[in-house]
Amino acid sequence: MPPRIATLLTSLTFIVLSITGVLAFVRTFSIQIVGLHALMGFVFVALVGFHIFNNFWSLKQHLASRVLWACLSLTILLTVLFWWQPTPIKKLLSLSGNLGPALDRFELSDEGMAYQYSPSPNYKMSLDVRTGGSYDVKDPPFLAIWLENQSLYHIKTLFVTEREGHRTHLPYWAFKVAGWEKAKQDAAKNGTTLEDQVDGISSATQNSSFEPSDYILPGKTEESMPYQVMIEINDPTDKLRQPASLIYKVEVDNFDPRTFQLLDLVGHPVKGTNDTGEVEWAMYYIDERFDAALELIDSALLRIDRK
């Protein structure tokens, strides 16, 4: 490769790496951006290697320079600092929008589903869902996992099946999210907070925060607020056409946290309207119409580890 072409390619590749690096930091996780950044990084390494080989004798003169050792020492210092991540570095990294892979991980196997959520080095939530005989790994049912406060408001979706029609087949989760999104939009228009917007509709409570860290990472355990981990599961391919989805939940209280908790099947949601004509959902007990749907989940175990 001619030196001029190699130099131009190295410079242009560096520009792509710079742009994708900034985007990967400020935006939420995107496999396209991260993949482009990583693959272009390999191309950049190859071009740098060719550049070094082509200009070896010129670069060799820098080996005897004191500037080389100063630059090398600075590089090593920054590498150790960024790897160790003291408090100032962690605060800087917390500004990044690309925390998805570090925060949560979802794995599906023949035995079930494993979800891990770790927003802090001192906190790890694991949800181990063992699937039953009706669960088809090749064509899995729709699934949503989210957090609710004691006021029954959605505060964070941890996982949802991203397939066409997921809001239709997960109606209870979709209803909760829609209310949360509308409250955020109304709050933005009115120049208020999400808490103020919801309190204006209902009434202020001690458990009306919409910030997940207030529940799972409280500054003081004795002031922590209970919350609920929710699961909605629905298999639209069920040949018996059993009623809608099933809801599982467990309540977590950081004041007296239990390390292991099983989620309970609480019923199936039914859509209705109240006296003012507003949509509301009621939770009904499981009846004789349910059969195969009860075997989608054999057990769901929540584990929380704190340091």
Q: What is the mean pLDDT of residues 269-296?
A: 84
Sign of the torsion formed by the C-alpha atoms of 234, 235, 236 and 242: negative
Q: What is the pLDDT of residue 163?
A: 85
**Residue 225: pLDDT band with limits 50, 70, 90:** confident
Q: Note the pLDDT tens digit of each residue in 74-109.
A: 889 988 888 887 878 777 776 766 655 456 677 777
Q: Which residues contact 141 (CB under 8 A, 6 or more apart)?
A: 135, 161, 233, 234, 235, 236, 237, 296
Q: How far apart are CA 120 and CA 109, in angstroms?
A: 26
Residue 171's pLDDT band (cuts 50, 70, 90)? very high
Residue 219: per-residue pLDDT: 60
pLDDT band at 42 (very low <50, low <70, confident <90, very high): very high
Is 32 a residue whose pLDDT tops 60? yes
**202: pLDDT strictly greater than 50:** no
DSSP state of 160: E
DSSP 87-126: HHHHHHHTT-S--HHHHEEEEE-SSEEEEEEEEETTEEEE
- Which residue carries 């004691």 as its tokens? 150
List CB contacts of 129: < 8 A, sequence separation 6 or more. 112, 113, 114, 115, 231, 297, 299, 300, 301
Q: Is the pLDDT of residue 217 over 80?
A: no
- 60 membership: H or E segment, kind and range: helix 56-60
Between CA 100 and CA 216 the distance in angstroms is 17
Percentage of the chain exceeding pLDDT 90: 19
Rounded to an integer, what distance in angstroms lies between the CA atom of residue 29 and that of residue 33? 8
b (16+ CB within 10 A) / e for 244-255: bbbbbbbebebe
Identity of residue 273: T
pLDDT of residue 203: 44
CA neighbor of 233 nearest in space, from 81, 129, 92, 154: 129
The tens digit of pLDDT for each residue in 115-148 reads 888 777 677 888 999 988 888 888 888 999 999 9
Residue 75 CA: distances (Å) to CA of 52, 63, 70, 81, 179: 19, 16, 9, 10, 49
- pTM strictly above 0.75: no
Amino acid identity of residue 160, one-letter, is V
Per-residue model confidence (pLDDT) at position 238: 66
- pLDDT score for 301: 94
- Our CA angle for 280, 235, 183, nearest 5°, is 30
For the chain, what is the mean pLDDT? 80
